[in-house]
Structure 1
Amino acid sequence: MDKERLNQLISEKLKLIRTEQGYTQDTMAEVIGLSKKTIVQIEKGRSLAGWTTTVAICALFRESRILQDALGSSDPVEIAEIAAHRYIRRSHDKTLGGRVWWREKEQWNGFRLQQNIISGHYRILDPADYRLFSTYDQQAVTAEWQQLIKKEGENCD
């Protein structure tokens, strides 16, 4: 998913997210820093949310079930980060291990390569379910997976 697709998806779900929160258009406009007129334009499909608005919604409403289900992720900020940076690499994000929204692609020595069944992005988890790498780029995740196997294989010897 690229920035444009994420902007479109957020725009399509804005009214549902607002309603889920119990916000009026005035309140939503105030919370995300837009005018009420802009909120109305987005909700009626006359314009799209911009990138900054999309990121703000992902961050401020990351607990929204509407947003999580639309993105296929319990962490909407991660989806925005991948769209912005192409991939993210870190080992401090604990996941639920892929019980929802994820398909196992490969498994090796407790490490798992998964693909999200809704958004299509990939991630690599360590044996304790910490996210090591996330991207939409299949070649990048394949290279990272192979490098992990090689590195961990050397450590086992």
Structure 2
Amino acid sequence: MSKEHIMESVSSRFKVIRLEKGYSQDKMAKVLGISKKTLVQIEKGRILSGWTTIVAICALFRDSEVLQVLLGGDPMEVIETIAHDGVERPRSKSLGGRVWWKEIDKKGSFRLQQNMISQHYRILDESNNRWLSTFEKEDALRRLEELFYGESLSNE
């Protein structure tokens, strides 16, 4: 999933997200920090939202079912992974991947999952803490090995 794909997909669902929240166009524009005219143009498909507004809608409406289904879970995880070209941050809590995730590999207490919608990868520990998010499978596999061998050494 690319930045451009996210911009197109989320822009095309602005109105549905707004209606899901029960907001008027005036309120939605104010919340997002854009003009009502710009919001109308986005909702009518005449323009795409800019990246900054996409990030804002994903952050401010991260509980939106529309966004969660569109992006395969927490919208901010996908946004952060794209923006930072992968994210590594030990002990960031997740829900464990019961809905949009398939398990790719498991080593010790760490498991590698891939999101079935966005196609990005993440590594979770036994407590569902996120250790890595990336779109690069090879990076994820390498890091899984590193975490496993680090864990194995510390258990000796």
Q: TM-score range by the shorter chain?
A: over 0.9
Match of 2:9 in 1: 9
Q: Give how far 1:91 is off.
A: 2.2
Q: Give how far 1:2 is off.
A: 2.1
Query: What is the total number of aligned residue pairs between the two structures?
Result: 156
> TM-score when scaled to structure 2?
0.95
Match of 2:149 in 1: 150
How far apart, in 2, do the equivalents of 1:92 and 1:140 lie? 18
Q: Do 2:107 and 2:145's aligned partners in 1 also have CA atoms closer than 8 Å?
A: no
Q: Give how far 1:150 is off.
A: 2.2
Query: SS in structure 2 opposite 1:38?
Result: helix
- Any gaps of 5 or more consecutive residues in structure 1? none
Q: How does 1:40-55 map to 2 (within 5 A)?
A: 40-55=40-55
Q: Give how far 1:26 is off.
A: 1.2
Is the counterpart of residue 115 in structure 1 residue 91 in structure 2?
A: no
Q: Which string of whole-angstrom CA distances, capped at 9 and with x for unpartnered residues, describes residues 64-93 of structure 1?
A: 1111111101x2111111110011111232
Task: Report which stretch shifted further, 93-102 or 116-125.
Answer: 93-102
How far apart, in 2, do the equivalents of 1:109 and 1:140 lie? 18
Q: Which string of whole-angstrom CA distances, capped at 9 and with x for unpartnered residues, describes residues 47-71 of structure 1?
A: 1110100000011001111111111
Query: SS in structure 1 opposite 2:12?
Result: helix
- Any gaps of 5 or more consecutive residues in structure 2? none
How far apart, in 2, do the equivalents of 1:92 and 1:108 lie? 17
Query: SS in structure 1 opposite 2:97?
Result: coil
Q: Give how far 1:144 is off.
A: 1.0
Query: SS in structure 2 opposite 1:113?
Result: strand
Q: Give how far 1:156 is off.
A: 2.8
Match of 2:31 in 1: 31
User: Letter of the aligned partner of 2:150 in structure 1?
Assistant: K
Aligned Cα RMSD in Å?
Answer: 1.1
Identity in percent = 51
Match of 1:70 in 2: 70
